[in-house]
Structure 1
Amino acid sequence: MKSKNLVSLSVAAVFFVLAITGLLIYFGQGSHVVEHTHAWFGVLFVAAAIFHIMNNWASIVGYSKNRRTGGIQKELVVPVVIVAIFALGIGFDLPVFGKLANFGKGLFKGERPRGGPMEQTKVDSIANAVETAYATAYTKGDTGALAKLLPIKTSLLTEAGTILSGSDIQKNILKRTAPEVVKTKVDRAESLDERTILVYGTSTNSTTTSPTVFSHLLKEQDKKWTIIAAQRAFPAVQ
């Protein structure tokens, strides 16, 4: 087995996958799986490219330098200049490069409404669905359903100023001796981006007499919305 053949074919195979995932991300079709695949194959591509350069170092030097004069070949200057232009343009977020970066997504998603990344009706629908599911799971003591909505790493700032995690809330449900009926009402929801929604609302608990106001930060991943951060407080006395 020839090492040069193996490395060259490996570079080609990895590049093929990398190109597909890169185009999917560029055109706004990149899911969590696509992004992870792109990242890992990027690492593989770097490794394969290093071996490719090592195996072809003499040829690369020959392409870069004029053997007679020892000067730099034009064939080296052109790609270096192109890479430098794109690196600086992207790094400094120049308008042309910003438009180019979003052009692919615009082809499939079209122009977004000026009111925000998502239509308000969709934002309200998602917020109400998540909050209703949360209240139902909490009331029933369904820790399995609650874990899907409130991951163990979710941080919750309580009315008392203490910070709980999603895991703490699940443990508290298992420890409770009396039933709790929780009801939530979404007062306002706004989209921060296409995968993040901030929800403001009011909740009541059968074990307390005073309602509380809350804010939940919702995040979409793999087409599932979860609460990644939460805060509760007693409403201000008018």
Structure 2
Amino acid sequence: MKKKNIISLSIALAFLFLSVTGLLLYFGLKPEFVTSIHVLLGLVFIGFAFFHIKNNWPSLKVYTKDRKEGGIKKEFLVAAAVVGIFLLGAGFSLPPFGEIQHFGEDLTRGGGGKGGRMEKASFDKIITNKDKQGKTIQLIIEKSNEVITPVITIWTNDTAGNFIDNLFVPAKTIEVTSGEADKRHALYEGETETNSFTPAMSPGWQAATKDTATNYAEATPTDNFFLTTKTKAGDTFQLMLEIKDNGKTELYKALVDRTKSNAVALKAANGALLVRAVAELE
């Protein structure tokens, strides 16, 4: 067996699998085994590439240096310039490199641009108030692209504005590690920390509620979600939702009348954080 053949074939196979796992990572598909394969084969690729360069060093010198004039060839300067531009562009997230870098994740996770928004396909399913008595409500919460680590609370008031009960109050919050400029990328990379929810994080709910106990053990999902819950409210009441993200807070509400309709849409004045919040009543 020829060592050169083994090295060349190993590099080719490693490159093939690195390409596949690289594309999966680019489009935001990051299960642990994909990351592990990509990292380990990357090390294999580096190792065999070292021997490949060593075996072909004379040829590389020919590509780099002009034998007649003794100077560096233009081809090498062009190649070095191209690599340098990509290093600087990617390192400092300069346009269009930053946009290209996150295009795959934005595409698969619904982060479309102004020209045409891609709908987020991922919806978490959540159940609260499971052991409580009351009538079932199902809510569909779809967040806008700008929302990254939201804090959401949902509750009911009577028609006079008096608190009835909580439908969704998270026990935790997710925050991007301080110092991260690109919060969406940091979230996808898992560069976050989990903290306890405090009523002050949802001032509208805090002012209205008479029950500050949480009823969901985790943080508000970073994806869209379906919520199945129960309320002791009667046939007519106010459905309230407060969302806070990146220093911006919005209050959504709807007047529910079971005798007229079994579905309502929650609205907010100049609301931008939610694409839709719809409740279906049973």
Distance, in Å, in 2 between the alignment partners of 1:70 and 1:109 is 53
Shift of 1:107: 2.6
Unaligned segments of structure 1, at least 5 residues: 114-118, 133-184, 203-210, 221-238
Aligned residues of 2:105 and 2:111 also touching (Cα < 8 A): no
C-alpha RMSD of matched pairs (Å): 3.9
Aligned residues of 2:14 and 2:45 also touching (Cα < 8 A): yes
1:187 equivalent to 2:172? Answer no
Name the residue aligned to 2:19: 19
Aligned residues of 1:186 and 1:199 also touching (Cα < 8 A): no
- Deviations 1:28-63 (CA, angstroms, capped at 9, x unpaired): 122111111111111111101100000000000011
Name the residue aligned to 1:154: none
Summarize the Cα distance change of 1:57–1:35 in structure 2 as closer, same or farther, 3 Å threshold. Answer: same
1:52 equivalent to 2:49? Answer no
Aligned residues of 2:64 and 2:73 also touching (Cα < 8 A): yes
Distance, in Å, in 1 between the alignment partners of 2:198 and 2:169 is 5
Summarize the Cα distance change of 1:18–1:2 in structure 2 as closer, same or farther, 3 Å threshold. Answer: same
Distance, in Å, in 1 between the alignment partners of 2:110 and 2:221 is 22
Distance, in Å, in 1 between the alignment partners of 2:168 and 2:51 is 56
Shift of 1:70: 1.2
- Deviations 1:74-106 (CA, angstroms, capped at 9, x unpaired): 221122111111111111121321101011122
**Structure (1 or 2) with the greater helix fraction:** 1
Name the residue aligned to 2:79: 79
Aligned residues of 1:198 and 1:218 also touching (Cα < 8 A): no
Alignment of 1:80-229 (within 5 A): 80-111=80-111, 125=125, 187-188=169-170, 190=173, 192=175, 193=187, 200=197
Summarize the Cα distance change of 1:72–1:37 in structure 2 as closer, same or farther, 3 Å threshold. Answer: same
1:2 equivalent to 2:2? Answer yes
**Structure (1 or 2) with the greater strand fraction:** 2
Moved over 6 A (4+): 215-220
Unaligned segments of structure 2, at least 5 residues: 114-119, 131-166, 176-186, 200-211, 223-282
Shift of 1:190: 4.8
Distance, in Å, in 2 between the alignment partners of 1:28 and 1:4 is 36
TM-score normalised to structure 2 length = 0.45
